[in-house]
Copies of this chain bind each other. A is one copy, B any other.
Amino acid sequence: MKIDRDAPVGVFDSGVGGLTVAREIMRNLPSEKIVYFGDTARVPYGNKSKDTIIRYSRQIIRFLQEQQVKAIVIACNTASAFALDAVRDDLDIPVLGVIEPGAVVAARETRNKRVGVIGTIGTVGSGIHEDFLRQLDPEITVLGKACPLFVPLVEEGWLHDPVTFEVARRYLRELQEREIDTLILGCTHYPLLRSTIREVMGESVRLVNPAYETALELKRLLTEKDLLSTGKEEEEFPYRFYVSDLADKFKSFANSILPYDVEMTQKIDIEKY
């Protein structure tokens, strides 16, 4: 099959969090078109079984293929952990998740081999980052900390706020005491709290933003496969957004974080795919 290099990249997440990944793709690959799907009707994925997540991911991928995407980014930690291997076998276009790119950078950057991972209860409990990091370097000690208040704080828009600072201080104290030198922001919402986390952790700790690393990895992959957009085909809506529920709420969140005015948001029935 010949893949059209000017086709859009498909990006999906359980909800709005993956928009931080879409944002990094917009910044770092400005010629690429994007079709984003947020599974807002079935969010969160963190408390669902592996089989369910694979089924959901396959439905979404069928929808994205209908949109004729040239590559797929799984911009959700749970779906990356549970479904990436399964769906990779189904596809003849490139597909990547958000966990490996972050883990690779963290393993490369840590000096004292003590890496922290923050995320949802589900992600941290799954130990998925630890598995990747240990494969990359068995000497690395991984310290996980679930931060369940971070997502609702971001969704409230309290990004630079004394409450958020105090919550971050409490969550991160343990990781500071255990002397990590590298911290993976292991949830797609967390890059939006980057400056607060930076303030709490100080300049000496390297913060790894998997959204950014995933965009770079996508760039590398598209380059390698000769699939980078020519940028010649201009479209009125280079970025299109689809959700499974509550399109208006999604749109207002998207508009608050993207360097772009989100006009085109459409609700679709994902269960049909």
User: Given the complex of chains A and B, what is the CA–CA distance between A153 and B170 in angstroms?
Assistant: 13
Known: A47-B41, A163-B167, A166-B163. A156 touches B149 (CB 8 A): yes
Q: Is A202 an interface residue (CB 8 A)?
A: no
Chain A residues with a Cβ under 8 A of chain B:
40-41, 43, 47-49, 148-149, 151-153, 155-156, 162-163, 166-167, 170, 245-246
Residue on B nearest A150 in the bound complex, by CB: B152
- A47 & B246 in contact (Cβ 8 Å cutoff): yes
User: Given the complex of chains A and B, what is the CA–CA distance between A163 and B162 in angstroms?
Assistant: 9
Known: A47-B41, A48-B41. A156 touches B166 (CB 8 A): no
Main secondary structure of the interface of A (DSSP, over half): loop
How many chain copies? 2
In the complex, which residues of chain B have a beta carbon less than 8 angstroms from the beta carbon of A245? 47, 49
User: Given the complex of chains A and B, what is the CA–CA distance between A40 and B122 in angstroms?
Assistant: 13
User: Given the complex of chains A and B, what is the CA–CA distance between A186 and B104 in angstroms?
Assistant: 46
Residue on B nearest A158 in the bound complex, by CB: B149
In the complex, which residues of chain B have a beta carbon less than 8 angstroms from the beta carbon of A152? 148-149, 151-152
Give min CB distance, A151 to chain B, whole Å: 8
In the complex, besides A149-B152, A149-B153, 15 extra interface pairs with C-beta distance below 8 angstroms are A40-B47, A41-B47, A41-B48, A41-B49, A43-B47, A47-B246, A148-B152, A148-B156, A149-B156, A152-B152, A163-B163, A163-B166, A163-B167, A163-B170, A166-B166
User: Given the complex of chains A and B, what is the CA–CA distance between A48 and B43 in angstroms?
Assistant: 10
In the complex, which residues of chain B have a beta carbon less than 8 angstroms from the beta carbon of A153? 149
Give min CB distance, A44 to chain B, whole Å: 8
In the complex, which residues of chain B have a beta carbon less than 8 angstroms from the beta carbon of A163? 163, 166-167, 170
Residue on B nearest A162 in the bound complex, by CB: B166
Give min CB distance, A246 to chain B, whole Å: 7
The 3 closest A-B pairs by CB, nearest first: A152-B152, A149-B152, A148-B152
User: Given the complex of chains A and B, what is the CA–CA distance between A157 and B213 in angstroms?
Assistant: 34
Mind listing 23 A-B residue pairs with CB under 8 Å? A40-B47, A41-B47, A41-B48, A41-B49, A43-B47, A47-B245, A47-B246, A49-B245, A148-B152, A148-B155, A148-B156, A149-B149, A149-B152, A149-B153, A149-B156, A151-B152, A152-B152, A162-B166, A163-B163, A163-B166, A163-B167, A163-B170, A166-B166
